[in-house]
Amino acid sequence: MRKLRKMLGDITDPSVVSLMRLIETQSKATLSGWAVDYAEKHYLGIYQKVYADERRLQEAVSGMREYLDGSRKQKDLKPLLQAAVQAAQEAEDNPPAQAAARAVATACRTVQSPASALGFAFYGAAASAYEKAGLVESQEVYDALASNELVQILGSLREIAVSGEKNPVTIKWNC
């Protein structure tokens, strides 16, 4: 089997450019809540289909929710986030599950690094494409599926975006 890409998506795709511009208008709290919600709803299940007894990603999501509602301190998230990253690394034998785990772990890191709101989208696009098409399709098929998923991700942020956000994030994109 050929090696699949960890992330899918084109930084010049209009939906990705729009996503980046919209991310720049939102607060860290808004982005973190949105990213965790989307990743949990769309990607955690892909991972859990293969690793049903594994709890580290769900624990990271729960920890993020506790942080966002004020019942956990940010410094207490570090071990949960490290465990989520470790779970993703350990899923290397299953590309859809690994991409999904990376999406969830990266979404949870949005609170530390708002640019992770874009990173989780690229991992999630890969998870979605590999889950839908399997592991032997052409790059063109994967790219088309990823593009569709990125449009969905953009739409979900548009739905919850706060107009005139008072404390938007400052991001220097390195892509």
Average of pLDDT values for 26-40?
A: 98
Whether 6 maps to a domain, the answer reads no
Give the whole-number percent of the chain exceeding pLDDT 70.
99
Integer Cα distance of 67 and 75 in angstroms: 10
pLDDT band at 3 (very low <50, low <70, confident <90, very high): confident
Q: Is the predicted pLDDT of residue 1 greater than 80, yes or no?
A: no
In a domain, 77, yes or no: yes
Residue 171: inside a domain, yes or no?
no
Determine the residue type at 109: R
Mean pLDDT across the chain, nearest whole number? 97
pLDDT at 167 over 60: yes
**Domain that includes residue 27, residue range:** 14-160
- By three-state DSSP, how is residue 83 classified? helix
Q: N- to C-terminal Cα distance for the chain?
A: 29
Return the closest-CA partner of residue 124 out of 143, 100, 92, 151.
100
- Inform me whether the pLDDT recorded for 78 exceeds 90: yes
pLDDT at 100: 99
Residue-wise pLDDT for 100-119, tens only, equals: 999 999 999 999 999 999 99
Structural domain includes residue 5: no
Give the rounded percent of residues in the chain with a pLDDT score beyond 90. 97
Task: Give tens-digit pLDDT for 46-58.
Answer: 999 999 999 999 9
For residue 128, pLDDT over 60 is answered with: yes
Mean pLDDT for 54-68 is 98
Residue 13: name the closest of 160, 169, 172, 146 by CA: 146
Q: Assess if residue 169 is contained within a domain.
A: no
Q: How many residues make up the chain in this entry?
A: 175
The mean pLDDT of 76-90, rounded to a whole number, is 97
Residue 72 lies in a domain: yes
Tell me how many domains the chain contains: 1
Is residue 131 a part of any domain in this protein? yes
Q: What is the pLDDT of residue 174?
A: 84
